[in-house]
Every structure is written in structure tokens, then in C-alpha cells.
């Protein structure tokens, strides 16, 4: 079912929209209607939004770490969503400007019939697009929240055919920049599937599969399924909003043209006509001719007056309403994608409670540098420094720590254990690493852990949070390695030298 | 610091000035029917937005340092704001381009050349004022920064002089880049105003009256298209720069290959994986990695060295997760990804593919026997399925796939097993 593939949908809509744009341009040349030409460029902006979304989707499918991006490109979709949302806001702004201009200088619609025809066609295409992008979550695979339910797709052996993944020329170029990759073969097609237990994994088979140039490790079906998560949804929402805005625009155009066609009394070209809606200097002539006409009396009918003026103001008013609707619907998307890009904590996670849960574990003395952020979608990443009295305590507690994180939905964690020295019980020893005060400005958070909002970056006190005091096991260290003391002495500050000598 | 209040004052002044001129130029552009003036007003709008972004992100960053909603603070707001500004400007340029093309198809004269001329000249003046203010402030921050770095880093400088020296050189280079960027940007702005003035002058000097459009009418749109390209040429680099930050890419100037090579060579490190380096904002680089060591003492020895390697690479916030070797897991796989393999799709990088993972070829400390107490944290639990592996073929893979490892390294690792 090709239509569940996001890329296919985007491409299809892209083709349709571009085609329609071309048609509109041609029609506008034929009928020499400037309004239609300018309207056709709205379709072009749609095309651009689709292109942005498509590029984002292409990027985001490369989930592997590369030399340029150690996280893979999964975040591309969030960025695509942000770009589309900002783009839409800019378009709303220009529409607003146009509407204000129309208020001051109302235009009539020339050839309303043609406009109606093209408007309806555009509306149909936009409605089709809305349908395409509204149901992106629905489909055979639906949401798999990573607990690897064995979908039918995932159990395909890796050497099996991959229908959806056409390794185009682009793919090979993509992989060229990736470093040498090692695929862990046993977990290949079985996240939590049934077949992994005890099955001797056949490395040679998978090595044959691994082509260094190509689709190595590209799990097309897996990737396609699992990724209908929130980042993909964000991207599709951006496109959806664009198409929605365009549809609204088409609706306005059609409504306006219909009303115009029905109600407007145009000025016939061959007779002097009074157009009260347009303020121009011809009004005096018009009134003059009107009085003349009345004076003559021969023409029974008065000089025709161009139709109800409020019709001319309908267009800008409707445009204003449309802008309000669009901004109202775009703002949540903008906010959400911006929050992800700002590395904020995802809203379902409460850092305070997580912190307290970690602290109350026995064996954990302190927790600092706790950072939680969302990479994209359901991939949440956490890092923390855990202070324990000694390594064996840490071993006992490590699994519990990971479980706590797991329960919150944070699965990619990096826990750095720190061990208190015998001498320093305050828990915050001096950092004996090269990153001292001079690096304080360049550390992500070079402040004391309690969230006092001082400008402590600029303070010169040694409040560096990378407080790992490596003073324990002095005997073991000295017997183990010969080079360590010399290294430490060379790089220590004076304070740490005192520590060493006291031991 | 006192600098903040002065800067804010200046920012607000520029803000008000720019906003006023934006409105004036926009209105005059529509009244006078000059597209060039309208596009220049959009340029000013973008400047206005960037000023607002600068002000508000400065305020946000200062106010809420690290709350429960954002563990890194909001220092990235500037990058997001800059990206939004650049995209906004690009979209506006797109619409201006469209209008210019329409104008070329159906030319219209500039109606009120005097108004356009006057406003255009005033806009040029405002741009020049902005240029002076900007250059002034950049110069001031540059000198202040260099002074402060001299103050903070004098004592360790004696020991670390080569590194500190290179860092200061990097700072100087980045400051110079900053100045150049600002200059380019303001020159682009000024160029836009110059274009407007040219077009209006032509219409002023050679008034068209009621005659049909001649060559004069084509000047406005064509110059506008040129201006659009100038504007875009300053917007695209900004987009690229902020993308590097926002997409969590490896910051410029960090060579992952070199870095991982150096890290793998640290004594005590058997292998490392899940190496991530990214830039938070404004030169603050963050790294996390997992290292596999034989013993806890190995780890503690290695930790210092690892941080040193990172420090030399310019990365000062590092979180290291130690893992201890057991023979059940491959050296290149994470021993403790999460508590079960079911979470694989939600890991930041799938555990099924280990790229950028390296083994330490110089394994002088690795002696086959692995110490009991330092077992791997997660291996004892049943819910983690550790794949069975064939050590020989693992080496085979290393030989074949690990292009970066020298042959010597793979030889050593095979002797270990």
C-alpha cells in the first residue's frame, strides 16, 4: 500500500500541485488575468513547503551516526516542521499586507467565471492533499512505541527482498560519507522477536548482505513503521497546514468569484458609468454625466452604477479571517517544534520527581548535571552524574538507575559515576581536569548545581560541575600504572597537588 | 555587568528606529508603487526581527537559567530565533520575487517618485547609522572579551601556553568572522537602499507623466530581483550555521575521526561506543560516550586522559559512562543500552548498528581474564538479550569493515582473544 509511505504521498502531492501551478500560469496568460497569476504563486509556495518536507523526510531516514552527525539525521523532520511553520507565518504576513492594500484600493474581479473554474479545480486538489496528509497516522502499522511488537514486516530476514527501498544513486552518495559501520547481526530482524533466543546468528550471511556502499543496515520496513512517531507527525502537520491554508484560499477565491458573478453589476464598457466604490478623480465627470443624463431625460434609465460596493471589501475581509485561522492553527506547531529544538525537557517528564527518585536510591549520594532532552519523536536522551561512595555500590545501583530512567521513557542514557574521596565529603571536589575556569564559559553549564540564577558563568570561583575526584584507590593506581602520577602532577592545579601529597 | 544595560539601551533605540522606518518604507512603497522600496522595507523587518530575537533571547537566557523545563537553559533560543528569522526573510523574498516577475510581465511606473526618493534616502541613512552602531559594539565586545580572557587565563597559561594560545587565536578568528559577517550584512542592507534611491532618482529626473511605460519601468523590478539575491546570500549561510547547531551536528572544527582515534589510544580504554559530540549554542560543545574498561581502576585512570583529549578538541562538558568488559557482549556493543532490547527504537542511535565505535588496538592491559566483581551492570539480567557472537568472525568483521583500524590493531585484538 504505497499511500502509507510518507515519501510517496509527498511526491504525489508535489507532482499534482506543480502541475496545477503550470496550468494556472497558462490559463492566466490566455485570459490575461493578473489575479490568477498571482494566485498561482500560492500554489508555488505550497510546492516549496512540500519540497522542504520531502527533504526532511529523506534526511530523517538516515538514522545512523555519521562523521558529521553523531545522532544521525532524525532531527531533520522537526526542523522541517519548524521551517514550514515559519514559512506559513511569513505567507500569512504577506497575505495580510495584500488584504490591507485591497482595503485601500479595492479591485474588481475580471472574468469571474474563469476564476471560479480554476478556483474549484485548486480546491479539489487541496482537498485531496488534505485527505492524504490527514490520515498519516492511520495505516497498517500504526504506532509502535518501540516495544518492538513483532510486526510482520520486522520478521523478514534481512537478506529478503526490500521492496520499498530502492537504493537510488542518492543512497550510495549518502553512505559514502558514513564511517565504517559494523552491524550487530544477531539483533538484526528481531527487536524483541521470538527468533533470537538461542539462534546462532549467522554472521557470514549478514556480511554478505552488508554492502559497504549501499543499503547496509538500512532497515527500510522497520524504519518506515516505527517512525510514524511524533517527529514525523510534526513534519506532516506542517505540510497539512500549508495545504489547509491553500484550501482556505481557494475557498475564498471561489466564494468571492461566485458572489461577484451573481451580485455584481459591472460597468458596461461602452457607456459612461458611475463607480462609487473606487475613489478616483473621475467622480466629478461621472456626476456631471449623470446630471446631464437626467437633464436630457431621453434615456429613461439612469447611468448604471457599478454594483454593491461591499462586494469589493469581501475579499480582504475573508482574507483577514483566513489569516487569523491559519495563525491560530500554526502556532502550536511552531511552539512544539521550537521546544524540541531548544533542548527542553519533554512535557511528559517531570525532572524534579526524577531527580528525587534518583536521590532516594540507596547508594546514591548525589545527582547532578541531570539533563533530559528530546532528540526527535520518542527518542529521549538523558545524562546524569551520580555520586556514589565506591564502585561496588555503584554496580548495585546502576541497574536501578537505568530502570528509573526507562520508566520515564528515557532510554538512551549516559550515567557517569563519581566516587567520593575519603577526604572530601562535601561532594564537590575540585575538578582536576584540564577544564578549569578558563573553560567555564565554554561548558554547557558551568555553574553550581543548585539553580541559583546568578551569572555564575563569569565568576572566577572554581565552581565547575565536572567534579570527579579521582583520588580513591591510590595504592592500586600506583601499582597499576606507572604513567599516571606523572601525568597528574604535570596538569594539576596547586590544590590537587596538596591532595596528592597528603595521601 | 554594566555592558548589558548599555547594550540593551542601544538595542531598544535601534529597535524603535527600525520599526518606525519599516512602517514608513512599507507605506511609501505601496503608495508610490515601488517594489524596491517594499523589498527594502522587508529587509528592515528582518533586521527588526533579529533585534527582537536578540533582545528577548538575552532576556530569557538571563532570567531562567536552568529550570525544570529546560535542563540546558534557553541558550539555544538565539539559534532558533536566527533560523526563524532567516526562513521568514527567505519567504518574504520569495513573495517579492514573485511580485517583481509580475511587474516585469506587466510594468507599472513609480507613481510618486519624490516620496520614494525621500524615504529611500532616509532608509539609507538609518542603515548607515545601524552599521556604525553595530561595528562599534562588535569592536567593544571584541576588546572586552580579549581582555577578560587574558585576565582569567594567566596562571594556567604558563603550563598550557600552546593550547591557550591556539584557543585565543581561534577566538580572534571567530571575532573577526563576526565582524565580517556583520559588515556584510549591513552592506547588503545599504545596497538595498541604494537600489531604491537609484530607481526613484531615475523617475524623478525623467518623469514619465501619463506616457506608457518605457525602459524606466523595468528598472525597478530588475533591480529588486538583484536585491533579493543579495538578501538571500546573507540568509542562507545563517540557515546553514544554525542548522549545524539545531540538528545536533558535530561542530565545525571537531574531527570525529581524529577524536575517536585519539580516544581509542588512551591506555585503559578497551573500546568506546556511543560517542556523541554536539554543540549546545555559541561554542559550548558537549560530548557523551561509553567506554569499556577492564577494571574500575582502569576507568579512573582513563577518565582523566579522556577528558584531556576532549579538552584539546575544544569540548569541555563530557559525560563518560564506564562499562566493564564481560565476554558475553561484543566489544563494540553497549552493555547497558537500556533495561531491555525492546527500547531499541527509542535509543538515540539504534544498537543494531554501531558506527563510530572503536576498539583499542593497543591493549596492553587486556589479559584475557576478566575480573569477577566488575561485571557488567546489565548482563546479569534476563530481560536483556545479549547476542551470541563468534569471536573469530567478529575479528573478521573488524578486519573487513573497520577500514580505519590499522592492520596492527586488528592483529592485537585477535591475540587478546
- Residue to test with chain A: of B96, B102, B319, most A Cβ within 10 A: B319
Whether residues A20 and A77 fall in one domain: yes
Evaluate whether residue A456 is within a structural domain.
Answer: no
**Which residues of chain A neighbour B350 with C-beta distances below 8 Å?**
63-64
Q: Is residue B358 part of a domain?
A: no
Please tell me the total count of domains within chain A: 2
Does any domain span residue B160? no
A479 pLDDT higher than 50: no
Nearest CA in chain A to B402: A180
Subunit contact B65:A200, Cβ cutoff 8 A: no
Contact B247 A476 (CB under 8 A): no
Q: At what angle do helices B2-32 and B113-152 cross, to 10 degrees?
A: 160
What lies within 8 Å, CB to CB, of B176 at 6+ separation is: none
What's B313's domain CATH number?
3.30.70.1350
Q: Are residues A128 and A257 in the same domain?
A: yes
pLDDT above 90: percentage of residues in chain A: 12
Residues A367 and A238 in one domain: no
CB B371, CB B326: distance < 8 Å: no
Q: How confident is the model at residue A419 (pLDDT cuts 50, 70, 90)?
A: confident
Task: Output the domain CATH number for residue A125.
Answer: 1.20.1510.10
Confidence band, pLDDT 50/70/90 cuts, at residue A82: very high
* Domain co-membership, A56 together with A109: yes
Higher pLDDT, B14 or B229: B229
Mark which of A396, A419, A442 sits at the end of a domain.
Answer: A419
Name chain A contacts of B347, Cβ cutoff 8 Å: 379, 411-412
**Selected residue with higher pLDDT from B328 and B253:** B253
- Max mean pLDDT among A172-176, A228-232, A452-456 falls in A228-232
B194 and B262 together in one domain: no
Does residue A259 lie in a domain region?
yes
CA distance B286 to chain A (A): 7
Helix (H, G, I), strand (E, B) or coil at B286: strand
Please tell me whether residues B59 and B111 are part of one structural domain. yes
How many CA atoms lie less than 13 Å away from A201 in the CB half-sphere? Answer: 25
Residues of B in contact with A338 (CB under 8 A): 80, 84
Looking at the fold, whether A127 and A91 belong to one and the same domain comes out as yes
Are residues B271 and B134 both part of a single domain? Answer: no
Selected for mutation to probe chain A from B27, B29, B248, B307 (highest A CB count within 10 Å) is B248
Residue A37 has pLDDT above 50, yes or no: yes
A293 or B330: which leads in pLDDT: B330
Average pLDDT, whole number, for chain A? 68
Q: B344 or A499: whose pLDDT is higher?
A: B344
pLDDT of residue B98: 86
Res B280: pLDDT: 87
Domain boundary (A371, A392, A419) is at: A419
A188 neighbourhood in chain B, CB within 8 Å = 352
Q: Do A414 and B320 touch (CB under 8 A)?
A: yes
Q: Which of A174, A343, A487, A491 would best serve as a mutation to test chain B binding (most B beta carbons within 10 A)? A: A343
Question: Where is the domain boundary, B205, B221, B246?
Answer: B246
Residue after which a domain boundary falls, among A388, A419, A450: A419
**pLDDT: which is higher, A235 or B105:** A235
- Residues B379, A395, B285, CA angle at the centre, nearest 5°? 95
pLDDT reported for residue A296: 55
Q: Would you say B235 and B90 are in contact if contact means Cβ atoms under 8 Å apart?
A: yes
Of the listed ranges A29-33, A498-502, B119-123, B132-136, the least confidently predicted one is A498-502
Indicate whether A86 pLDDT > 90.
yes
- The answer to whether A502 and A423 have CB atoms below 8 angstroms apart is yes
pLDDT at res. B158: 45
Q: What is the per-residue pLDDT for B123?
A: 84
Please check whether residue B395 lies inside any domain of the structure: no
Domain membership of residue B179 (yes or no) is yes
Q: Confidence class of residue A81 from pLDDT cuts 50, 70 and 90? A: very high
- Is A402 within the bounds of a domain? yes
Report yes or no on A319 lying in a domain: yes
Do B242 and B296 belong to one domain? no
Bigger pLDDT: B319 or B412? B319
Domain-located, residue B348: no
Q: Is the pLDDT of residue A327 over 90?
A: yes
Is the per-residue pLDDT at A322 higher than 60? yes
Domain termination residue (choose one: B298, B324, B350): B324
pLDDT of residue A80: 92
Contacts of B413 (CB under 8 A, 6+ apart): B331, B359, B361, B363, B395, B398
| Domain that residue B320 falls in | 256-324
The answer, yes or no, to whether residue A183 has pLDDT greater than 90, is no
* Cα–Cα distance for residue pair A337/A334, rounded to 1 Å: 6
* Cβ <8 Å between B247 and A79: yes
Same domain, A16 and A101: yes
- In whole angstroms, how far apart are CA A471 and each of A41, A476, A501, B62? 68, 11, 11, 36
Residues A248 and A365 in one domain: no
Provide the ipTM: 0.74
Looking at the partner chain, which of A68, A204, A483 has a beta carbon nearest the beta carbon of B249?
Answer: A68
A367-376, B195-204, B379-388: least confident range: B379-388
Look at B235 and A168; give whichever has higher pLDDT.
B235
Residue in this structure with the C-alpha cell 526573510, named with its chain if needed:
B89
Contact (CB, 8 A) for A100 and B27: no
Q: What is the mean pLDDT of residues B185-213?
A: 79
Could you tell me which of A133, A55, A49, A44 has the C-alpha nearest to residue A83?
A49
Whether residue B80 lies inside any domain: the answer is yes
Question: Cβ B317–A445 below 8 Å, yes or no?
Answer: yes
CA proximity to B404, closest of A186, A311, A182: A182
Specify whether the CB–CB gap between A358 and A397 falls below 8 A: no
Could you tell me the CATH number of the domain that includes residue A389? 3.30.70.1350
The answer to whether the Cβ–Cβ distance between B381 and A399 falls below 8 Å is yes
What confidence tier does A460 reach under pLDDT thresholds 50, 70, 90?
very low
Identify whether residues B76 and B118 lie together within a single domain. Answer: yes
Please give the residue range of the domain that contains residue A356: 343-419
A115 and A238, same domain (yes or no): yes
Distance from CA of B349 to the nearest CA of A (A): 6
> Does the residue A302 lie in any domain?
no
Same-domain pairing of A19 and A117: yes
Q: Give the residue from A54, A58, A383 showing the smallest Cα distance to B348.
A: A383
Identify whether B399 is part of a domain.
no
Task: Flag whether pLDDT at B34 surpasses 80.
Answer: yes
- Are A34 and B102 a contacting pair at CB < 8 A? yes
A127 and A255 together in one domain: yes
Reported as a single tens digit per residue, the pLDDT across A338-362 is 999 988 898 888 889 998 988 888 8
Task: Spell out which residues of chain A touch residue B401, defining contact as CB-CB under 8 Å.
Answer: 180-182, 210, 212
Number of domains in chain B: 2
Does B343 reside within a domain?
Answer: no
Q: Which residues of A touch B278 (CB under 8 A)?
A: 70-71
Asked if residue A247 is part of any domain, the answer here is yes
- A253 and A373 together in one domain: no
* Mean pLDDT, residues A434-456 taken together: 48
User: Which range in A217-231, A273-287, B212-226, B376-390 is most confidently predicted, on average pLDDT?
Assistant: B212-226
Residue matched to cell numbers 488584504 = A99
Answer whether residue A154 is part of any domain.
Answer: no
Task: Check whether residue B272 and residue B222 sit in a common domain.
Answer: no
**DSSP designation for A372:** E
Mean predicted confidence (pLDDT) in A4-13: 85
**B269 and B238 co-located in one domain:** no
- Residue A331 has a pLDDT of 94
Residue A358 lies in a domain: yes
- Are residues A21 and A100 both part of a single domain? yes
Angle between helices B35-63 and B161-205 (to 10 degrees): 150
For the cut 60, the answer to whether the pLDDT of residue B231 exceeds it is yes
Same domain as B114, residue B261: no
Please give the model's pTM, rounded to 2 decimal places.
0.70
Closest by Cα among A332, A201, A83 to B83: A83
Considering only alpha carbons, which residue of chain B is nearest residue A78?
A: B247
pLDDT surpasses 80 at A202: no
The whole-number pLDDT of residue A3 equals 62
pLDDT at A441 (0 to 100): 59
Q: Is there a single domain that holds both residue B219 and residue B90?
A: yes
* Surface-to-core class of residue A313, CB atoms within 10 Å of its CB (0-12 exposed, 13-18 middle, 19+ buried): middle
Interchain contact, B248 vs A71, CB within 8 Å: yes
* A104-134 confidence digits (pLDDT tens): 877 777 778 888 888 898 899 999 888 888 7
For residue B352, give the chain A residue with the closest CA: A184
Tens of pLDDT along B396-416? 334 334 444 344 443 443 444
**Ranges B50-54, B157-161, B218-222: which has the least confidence:** B157-161
- Rounded CA-CA distance A105/A344 in Å is 47
Name the band, by pLDDT with cuts 50, 70 and 90, for residue A425. Answer: very low
Q: What is the CATH number of the domain that holds B23?
A: 1.20.1510
Instruction: Using the 3D structure, point to which of B225, B246, B267 is the last residue of a domain.
Output: B246
Whether residue B286 sits in one domain with residue B309: yes
In this complex, which of A201, A352, A412 lies closest to B347 when CB atoms are compared?
Answer: A412
Same domain? For B42 and B130 the reply is yes
CB contact under 8 A, A71 and B98: no
Task: Please tell me which residue of chain B has the smallest CA distance to A394.
Answer: B377
Are B136 and B77 members of one domain? yes
> Please, are residues B227 and B325 in contact by the beta-carbon 8 Å criterion?
no
Amino acid at each position: 500500500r504505497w499511500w502509507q509511505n510518507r515519501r510517496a504521498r509527498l511526491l504525489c502531492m508535489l507532482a499534482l500541485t506543480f502541475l496545477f501551478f503550470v496550468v494556472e500560469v497558462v490559463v492566466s496568460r490566455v485570459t490575461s488575468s493578473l489575479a490568477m497569476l498571482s494566485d498561482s504563486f500560492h500554489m508555488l509556495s505550497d510546492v516549496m513547503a512540500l519540497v522542504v518536507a520531502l527533504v526532511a523526510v529523506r534526511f530523517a531516514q538516515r538514522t545512523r551516526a555519521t562523521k558529521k552527525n553523531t545522532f544521525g539525521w532524525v532531527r531533520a523532520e522537526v526542523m522541517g516542521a519548524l521551517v514550514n511553520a515559519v514559512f506559513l507565518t511569513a505567507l500569512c504576513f504577506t497575505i495580510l499586507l495584500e488584504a490591507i492594500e485591497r482595503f485601500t484600493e479595492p479591485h474588481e474581479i475580471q472574468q469571474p467565471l474563469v476564476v471560479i473554474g480554476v478556483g474549484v479545480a485548486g480546491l479539489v486538489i487541496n482537498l485531496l492533499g488534505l485527505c492524504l496528509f490527514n490520515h498519516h497516522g492511520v495505516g497498517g502499522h500504526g504506532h509502535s512505541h518501540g516495544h518492538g511488537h513483532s510486526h510482520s514486516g520486522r520478521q523478514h530476514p534481512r537478506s529478503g527482498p526490500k521492496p520499498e527501498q530502492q537504493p537510488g544513486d542518492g543512497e550510495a552518495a549518502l553512505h559514502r560519507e558514513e564511517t565504517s559501520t559494523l552491524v550487530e547481526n544477531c539483533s538484526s530482524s528481531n527487536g524483541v522477536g521470538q527468533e533470537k533466543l538461542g539462534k546462532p546468528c549467522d554472521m557470514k550471511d549478514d556480511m554478505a548482505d552488508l554492502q559497504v556502499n549501499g543499503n547496509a543496515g538500512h532497515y527500510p520496513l522497520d524504519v518506515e513503521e516505527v517512525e510514524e512517531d511524533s517527529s514525523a507527525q510534526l513534519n506532516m502537520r506542517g505540510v497539512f497546514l500549508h495545504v489547509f491554508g491553500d484550501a482556505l484560499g481557494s475557498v475564498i477565491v471561489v466564494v468571492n468569484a461566485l458572489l461577484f458573478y451573481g451580485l455584481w453589476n459591472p460597468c458596461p464598457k461602452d457607456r459612461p458609468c458611475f463607480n462609487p466604490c473606487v475613489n478616483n478623480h473621475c467622480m466629478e465627470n461621472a456626476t456631471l454625466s449623470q446630471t446631464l443624463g437626467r437633464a436630457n431625460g431621453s434615456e429613461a434609465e439612469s447611468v448604471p452604477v457599478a454594483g454593491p460596493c461591499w462586494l469589493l471589501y469581501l475579499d480582504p475581509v475573508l482574507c483577514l479571517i483566513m489569516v487569523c485561522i491559519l495563525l491560530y492553527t500554526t502556532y502550536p506547531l511552531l511552539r512544539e517544534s521550537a521546544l524540541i529544538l531548544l533542548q527542553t525537557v519533554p512535557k511528559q517528564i517531570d525532572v524534579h520527581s526524577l531527580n528525587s527518585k534518583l536521590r532516594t536510591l540507596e547508594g546514591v549520594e548525589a545527582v547532578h548535571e541531570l539533563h533530559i532532552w528530546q532528540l526527535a519523536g520518542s527518542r529521549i536522551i538523558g545524562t546524569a552524574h551520580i555520586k556514589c561512595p565506591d564502585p561496588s555500590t555503584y554496580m548495585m545501583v546502576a541497574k536501578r538507575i537505568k530502570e528509573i530512567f526507562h520508566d520515564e521513557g528515557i532510554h538512551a542514557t549516559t550515567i557517569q559515576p563519581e566516587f567520593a574521596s575519603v577526604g572530601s565529603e562535601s561532594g564537590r571536589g575540585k575538578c582536576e581536569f584540564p577544564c578549569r575556569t578558563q573553560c567555564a564559559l565554554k561548558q554547557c553549564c558551568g555553574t553550581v548545581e543548585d539553580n541559583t540564577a546568578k551569572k555564575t558563568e563569569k565568576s572566577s570561583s572554581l565552581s565547575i560541575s565536572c567534579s570527579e575526584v579521582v583520588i580513591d584507590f591510590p595504592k592500586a593506581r600506583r601499582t597499576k600504572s606507572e604513567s599516571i602520577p606523572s601525568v597528574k602532577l604535570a596538569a594539576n592545579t596547586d590544590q590537587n597537588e596538596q591532595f596528592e601529597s597528603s595521601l | 555587568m554594566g555592558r548589558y544595560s548599555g547594550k540593551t539601551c542601544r538595542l531598544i533605540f535601534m529597535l524603535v528606529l527600525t520599526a518606525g522606518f519599516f512602517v514608513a518604507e512599507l507605506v511609501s512603497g505601496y503608495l508610490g508603487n515601488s517594489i524596491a522600496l517594499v523589498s527594502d522595507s522587508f529587509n528592515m523587518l528582518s533586521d527588526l526581527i533579529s533585534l527582537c530575537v536578540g533582545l528577548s533571547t538575552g532576556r530569557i537566557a538571563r532570567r531562567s537559567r536552568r529550570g525544570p523545563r529546560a535542563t540546558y537553559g534557553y541558550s539555544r533560543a538565539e539559534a532558533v530565533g536566527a533560523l526563524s528569522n532567516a526562513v521568514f526573510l527567505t519567504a518574504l523574498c520569495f513573495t517579492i520575487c514573485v511580485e517583481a516577475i509580475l511587474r516585469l510581465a506587466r510594468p507599472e511606473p513609480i507613481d510618486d517618485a519624490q516620496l520614494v526618493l525621500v524615504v529611500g534616502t532616509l532608509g539609507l541613512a538609518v542603515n548607515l547609522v545601524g552599521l556604525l552602531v553595530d561595528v562599534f559594539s562588535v569592536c567593544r565586545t571584541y576588546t572586552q572579551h580579549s581582555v577578560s580572557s587574558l585576565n582569567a587565563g594567566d596562571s594556567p597559561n604558563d603550563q598550557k601556553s600552546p593550547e591557550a594560545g591556539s584557543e585565543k587565536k581561534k577566538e580572534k578568528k571567530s571575532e573577526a568572522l563576526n565582524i565580517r559577517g556583520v559588515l556584510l550584512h549591513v552592506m547588503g542592507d545599504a545596497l538595498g537602499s541604494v537600489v531604491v534611491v537609484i530607481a526613484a532618482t531615475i523617475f524623478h529626473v525623467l518623469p514619465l507623466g501619463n506616457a506608457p511605460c518605457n525602459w524606466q519601468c523595468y528598472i525597478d523590478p530588475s533591480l529588486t530581483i538583484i536585491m533579493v539575491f543579495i538578501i538571500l546570500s546573507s540568509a542562507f549561510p545563517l540557515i546553514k550555521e544554525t542548522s549545524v547547531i539545531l540538528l545536533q551536528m558535530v561542530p565545525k572544527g571537531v574531527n570525529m575521526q581524529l577524536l575517536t582515534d585519539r580516544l581509542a589510544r588512551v591506555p585503559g580504554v578497551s573500546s568506546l561506543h556511543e560517542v556523541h559530540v554536539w554543540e549546545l549554542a555559541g561554542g559550548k560543545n558537549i560530548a557523551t560516550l561509553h567506554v569499556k574498561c577492564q577494571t574500575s581502576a582502569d576507568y579512573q585512570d582513563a577518565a582523566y586522559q579522556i577528558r584531556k583529549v576532549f579538552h584539546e578538541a575544544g569540548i569541555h562538558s563530557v559525560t563518560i559512562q564506564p562499562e566493564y568488559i564481560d565476554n558475553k557482549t561484543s566489544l563494540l556493543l553497549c552493555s547497558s543500552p537500556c533495561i531491555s532490547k525492546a527500547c531499541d527504537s527509542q535509543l538515540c542511535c539504534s544498537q543494531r548498528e554501531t558506527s563510530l565505535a572503536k576498539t583499542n588496538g593497543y591493549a596492553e592491559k587486556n589479559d584475557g581474564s576478566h575480573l569477577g566483581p566488575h561485571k557488567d551492570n546489565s548482563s546479569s539480567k534476563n530481560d536483556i538479550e545479549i547476542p551470541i557472537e563468534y569471536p573469530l568472525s567478529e575479528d573478521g568483521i573488524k578486519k573487513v569493515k573497520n577500514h580505519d583500524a590499522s592492520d596492527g590493531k586488528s592483529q592485537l585484538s585477535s591475540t587478546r582473544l
